[in-house]
Amino acid sequence: MSEPRVPASGTVHWIGAGLSTGSGLADLCARAARVRLWHRTAERAAGALDALGLTGRAEPRAYTLPALTAELAPGDVVVSMLPAPEHAPLLAACVAGRAHFACSSYVSDAVLELVPSAGRAGITVLTEAGLDPGIDHLFAHDLVARARSAIGADTPASYRLTSYCGGVPAVPNDFRYRFSWAPLGVLGALRSPARYIEDGAERGAARPWEATRRQTVGGETFEVYPNRDSVPFVEQYGLPVAWRAETFVRGTLRLDGWLRAWAPVFEELKAGDDERIAALARELAATYPTTDADRDRVVLVVSLEVDAGSGRVWSGSRLLDLVGDERESAMARCVSRTLALGVRHILDGVLPAGLSRAAETSERAAVWLRELAVEGLEFSPSPLRGPAV
């Protein structure tokens, strides 16, 4: 049984200041009572604050888990921008200190094991609150709710849901990519098998890039492929059991020509040598970095079509297409703004104790989308096409 939710103290500990930390941190500096930025050293934390124009608005700290634990108080919010394997130890410290936890990463098994303890401690565990995962969840919840209303949750139907997201160069290069997040993470994701639904059956791809196909978005051609395990999200998105999945894919979007340009990389990935892959990640990051002179672009498109037969078809989609500017990258804006919004809801006491994967209901998703639009993360809805009456 969960304890009453611990009231937020107003103090936010933001851990890490990498490529995805942007104006979301500035937003929290303006709204929270106190913000501490934890980085490898206090000097690097101070430098990151200076680069973001936040000197004097947050306290720089040198991060170690014991150092953070020593400063945690009940009701504080810990925001992790660290790699996913480091989330479980952080969450364990939060449970012990009765501090809330937030991150933009997928829920790992290690984090899931701690969720019951977090609920009993009365703390919120916010995950998957970034771009992908994050805004894609909001789009999906919104579309599913609209389709349920139009078709009826108890009406037998088939559906096609696709969700593709990618961070790509705003100005294409020969490699069709620039690294806007951890290069080893990019290669690691390509080495992870994918599971999805196609033609009404579950499919698997041991090498996700081998399932790449072309996709037209807003008149532009991209390449897309399945990523991770899509199947559990059927339940997470609340798709009615009376509806049968004809297609359900969550995946990655790349510029047209990416598959050809990355052919030498794929050959190395097939070898599966961890040491060589780590070296390759460093080489590629040095050759194709996102520099201060480059502008990145984020493209996220979620589409849903539901067919109840006899001409009763509902369809709709949501498109986010954003280019970075001299102030911050599109990736940093999308990830940090969405995460900061979730933290604000923790501070306001809106999110309950226990696990929340971004906004887990259509009602909350609608609120988040409205708030993100006000903050500049506007999306383009396609005309919703409903069944004839």
Which residues are part of the catalytic machinery? 132
SS (H, E, C) the chain: CCCCCCCCCCEEEEECCCCCCCHHHHHHHHHCCEEEEEECCHHHHHHHHHHCCCECCEEEEECCHHHHHHHCCCCCEEEECCCHHHHHHHHHHHHHHCCEEEECCCCCHHHHHHHHHHHHHCCEEEECCEECCEHHHHHHHHHHHHHHHHHCCCCCEEEEEEEEEEEEECCCCCCCCCECCCHHHHHHHHCCCEEEEECCEEEEECCHHHHCEEEEECCEEEEEEECCECCCHHHHCCCCCCEEEEEEEEEEEEECCHHHHCHHHHHHHHHCCHHHHHHHHHHHHHHCECCCCCCEEEEEEEEEEEECCCCCEEEEEEEEEEECCCCCCHHHHHHHHHHHHHHHHHHCCCCCCEEEECCCCHHHHHHHHHHHHHCCCCCEECCCECCCC
Q: Which two three-digit tokens encode residue 220?
A: 């532009």
d(CA 290, CA 296): 7
Q: Which two three-digit tokens encode residue 269?
A: 């990935």
The three-point CA angle 104-246-259 to 5° equals 60
Write the single-letter amino acid at 223.
E
Residue 192 pairs in a beta bridge with none
CA 376 to chain centre: 17
Which residues neighbour 380 within 8 Å (Cβ) at sequence distance 6 or greater? 218, 318, 319, 320, 321
